[in-house]
Amino acid sequence: MANLNELHEDLNFVAGAVQRGQYRSTPAILALWAVLVPIGFALSDFAPGWTGPYWLVAGVLGGVASMFLGRAASARQGVRDSAIGHRHALHWLTMLAAYFLLGASIATGHMDPQASMPIWLLLTAIAYTMAGIHLDRDRTFLPSGIIMFIGYAALEWLPLPYLWTTTGLIVSVSLIVAAVRSSRATRSA
């Protein structure tokens, strides 16, 4: 009987290690970007001269803060698989590269800034939806991506004022939804 109990304990230990080894999104990172994004996007509508400097500072500091918050959350969750971290880094760096290329197209006059607004949201919707499908254990990002796809349709087909600000708010709402879902998933685990 003792061997059966030991086997049960060993299996529970392994199951817990496997469960901890799967990534959960970090509510603090989502909340951070839910604040940074609408501010930066609203600047494009109301103070365009401040948009570039804002994103230079907020983007870099937000990225570094996200990295540290993610590492700390992974340590708390017991995740020790660096391949997971690398996969996430490559996913979000790919998104950053797409943003950079789109921004460069606008900055060099190859694309109208106002016409690019839905494209920013479409890129983000794709990135979050794919993260929800492939990266996130609890599918936290999936509803966010869907919200952004709906927002993209609204930006394209509804006469909305202040497209940059509206887009920032859509992204912020979707990130808040993800943060709440992630927080609930973490509490129930």
Sign of CA dihedral 123, 129, 132, 134: negative
For the chain, the domain total comes to 1
The reply to whether 12 falls in a domain is: no
For residues 174 and 150, what is the distance between their CA atoms, to the nearest angstrom? 11
> What pLDDT score does 80 carry?
63
> What pLDDT score does 52 carry?
87
Determine the residue type at 184. Answer: R
Each residue's pLDDT, cut to its tens digit, for the chain (189 residues) gives 566 666 556 555 544 544 444 556 788 999 999 999 999 999 989 999 999 899 999 989 998 998 888 878 777 766 666 777 788 888 988 998 998 899 899 889 999 887 888 898 999 999 999 988 888 766 888 999 999 999 999 989 998 888 889 989 999 999 999 899 888 776 665
C-alpha distances out from residue 114 to 6, 39, 47, Å: 64, 17, 14
The reply to whether 147 falls in a domain is: yes
Tokens of 165: 């600000």
The reply to whether 15 falls in a domain is: no
The reply to whether 124 falls in a domain is: yes
Tokens of 35: 């604040």
The reply to whether 17 falls in a domain is: no
> What pLDDT score does 147 carry?
92
For residues 177 and 154, what is the distance between their CA atoms, to the nearest angstrom? 19
What is the per-residue DSSP string for 171-189?
Answer: HHHHHHHHHHHHHHHHHH-
7 C-beta neighbours (distance < 10 Å), count: 10
Domain that holds residue 162: 25-184
> What pLDDT score does 37 carry?
94
> What pLDDT score does 21 carry?
46
The reply to whether 141 falls in a domain is: yes
The reply to whether 134 falls in a domain is: yes
Tokens of 68: 């540290």
The reply to whether 88 falls in a domain is: yes
